[in-house]
């Protein structure tokens, strides 16, 4: 399968990334959340990362977003090696990779309006003046489908899907190249998931975004992902085109995942709906 921009350098690249946490709480030893992750993601494509709980998916997301430092190994963002940068240099890099979390109810400050929420990253990064920040926030909210009349409302007045739209608008404020979508659809109703998935596809086509979509919903991974990486025990045990991984899973972990999915969904996903 060919991906856009495959001839150029990847927008994200990691080489043997290891992340260890001091395991004082869990056990009396260090815990390796990531045990040598090497991957590359090309601009404008989606890498879906699936795997059971505790396989290291979210840690990988945090490392790619430069919010966790890797214990060893290297991370490149848009060709620049970021694993060795100091905190001040990282601040300049972070706008390139933004995160959208699972639960918009807890990731949005309940005391700020939708517009203020989207303006906040612009304010922190000192992007132009307040007027322009406000105008950009308006445009972004418009893009993700939040009505102009509701810009002044606080998160509590929005539905779950609308909150996630606001979180996406905020993530886009600094014109990132990459979005890390960490279970961004999991907390939403099925009918709302479909709408947000469609929005993500529109935004990707329009803005040329690259997605790392972390999920345990294999069907959504196959739907949004160009490639799927299957994680287990801090490693990528299988990686390939979404279609290949789902139709012909090679690794045992992937096979279990696909089977768990097929058995639970066998009846519900029959195509002959009226």
Partner 1 sequence: MTPFLDVRNLHVSYGATDGSRAKALAGLNFSLRAGETLGVLGESGSGKSTLAAALLGILPPNGRITAGSVYFEGQDLLNTGARAMEKIRGARIALISQEPSQALHPAMRVNAQVRDVLAAHQPLRGRQLRERVQYVLSAVFSSETERISASYPHQLSGGQRARVLIAQAMVCEPALIVADEPTASLDAETQQEIIALFRELQRKMQLSVVWITHNPALLAGLVERVMVLYAGRVAEIGPTETVLCAPRHPYTQGLLRCLPPLSDENQAGHKMKLAVISGEAPGGDLDTSGCVFEPRCAERVAVCANREPEVVRVGNAHEVSCFKAGC
**CB of 14 or CB of 102, closer to partner 1:** 102
Q: Check binding of 260 to partner 1 (CB under 8 A).
A: yes
Give every CB contact of residue 67 below 8 A, 6+ residues apart in sequence.
Answer: 94, 99
User: Which of 88, 131, 191, 206 forms a contact with partner 1 (CB under 8 A)?
Assistant: 191
**Min dist. Cβ of residue 207 to partner 1 (A):** 15
CB of 175 vs partner 1, minimal distance in Å: 23
Residue 155 CB neighbours (<10 A)? 21
Residue 274 Cβ, how far from partner 1 at the closest point, in Å? 6
Identify the CA nearest to 254 among candidates 245, 265, 243. Answer: 245
Of residues 122 through 161, those in contact with partner 1 by CB under 8 A are 159-161
Q: What is the closest distance, in whole angstroms, from the C-beta atom of residue 30 to partner 1 in the complex? A: 18
Cβ–Cβ < 8 Å for 85, 69: no
CB 79 within 8 A of CB 40: no
Q: Considering only CA atoms, which of 99, 25, 85 is closest in space to residue 57?
A: 99
Q: For residue 193, state whether it binds partner 1 (rule: CB under 8 A).
A: yes
Distance CA 244, CA 262 (A): 15
Among 92, 124, 135, 219, contact with partner 1 (rule: CB under 8 A)? 219
The yes or no reply on residue 267 touching partner 1 (CB under 8 A) is yes
Please list every residue from 19 through 78 that binds partner 1, using CB under 8 A: 52-54
- Give 62-125 as a DSSP string: HHHTTSS--SEEEEEETTEE-TT--HHHHHHHGGGEEEE-S-HHHHS-TTS-HHHHHHHHHHHT
Q: Does 216 bind partner 1 (CB under 8 A)?
A: yes
Bridge partners of residue 16, in order along the sequence: none
Establish if 207 lies at the interface with partner 1 (CB under 8 A).
Answer: no
DSSP assignment of 162-177, as one string? HHHHHHHHHHHTT--S
Alpha-carbon distance of 67 to 102, in angstroms, equals 17
Site membership for partner 1, residue 223 (CB under 8 A):
yes
Q: Which of 28, 126, 190, 206 touches partner 1 (CB under 8 A)?
A: 190
Using the contact rule CB under 8 A, the part of the chain among 16-24, 33-41, 108-116, 222-230 near partner 1 is 222-230
Instruction: For partner 1, give the closer residue by CB, 1 or 135.
Output: 1
Residues contributing to the site for partner 1 (CB under 8 A): 1, 52-54, 159-162, 189-195, 197-198, 201, 216-220, 222-224, 226, 243, 246-247, 256-258, 260-274
């Amino acid at each position: 399968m060919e991906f856009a921009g495959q001839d150029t350098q990847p927008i994200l690249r990691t080489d043997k990334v290891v992340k260890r946490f001091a395991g004082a709480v869990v056990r009396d030893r260090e815990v390796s959340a990531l045990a040598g992750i090497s991957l590359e993601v090309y601009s404008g494509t989606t890498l879906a990362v699936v795997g059971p709980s505790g396989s290291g998916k979210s840690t990988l997301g945090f490392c790619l977003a430069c919010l966790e430092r890797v214990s060893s190994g290297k991370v490149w963002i848009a060709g620049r090696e970021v694993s060795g940068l100091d905190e001040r240099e990282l601040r300049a890099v972070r706008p390139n990779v933004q995160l959208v979390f699972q639960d918009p109810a807890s990731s949005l400050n309940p005391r700020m309006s939708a517009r203020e929420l989207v303006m906040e990253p612009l304010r922190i990064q000192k992007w132009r003046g307040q007027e322009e920040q406000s105008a950009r926030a308006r445009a972004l909210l418009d893009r993700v489908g939040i009505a102009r009349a509701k810009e002044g409302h606080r998160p509590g007045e929005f539905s779950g899907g609308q909150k996630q739209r606001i979180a996406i608008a905020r993530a886009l404020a600094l014109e990132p190249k990459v979005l890390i979508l960490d279970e961004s659809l999991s907390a939403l109703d099925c009918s709302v998931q479909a709408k947000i998935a469609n929005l993500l596809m529109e935004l990707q086509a329009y803005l040329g975004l690259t997605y790392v979509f972390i999920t345990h919903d294999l069907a959504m991974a196959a739907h949004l992902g160009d490639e799927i990486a299957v994680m287990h025990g801090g490693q990528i045990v299988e990686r390939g085109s979404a279609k290949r991984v789902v139709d012909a899973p090679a690794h045992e972990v992937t096979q279990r995942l696909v089977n768990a999915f097929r058995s639970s969904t066998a009846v519900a996903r029959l195509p002959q709906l009226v």
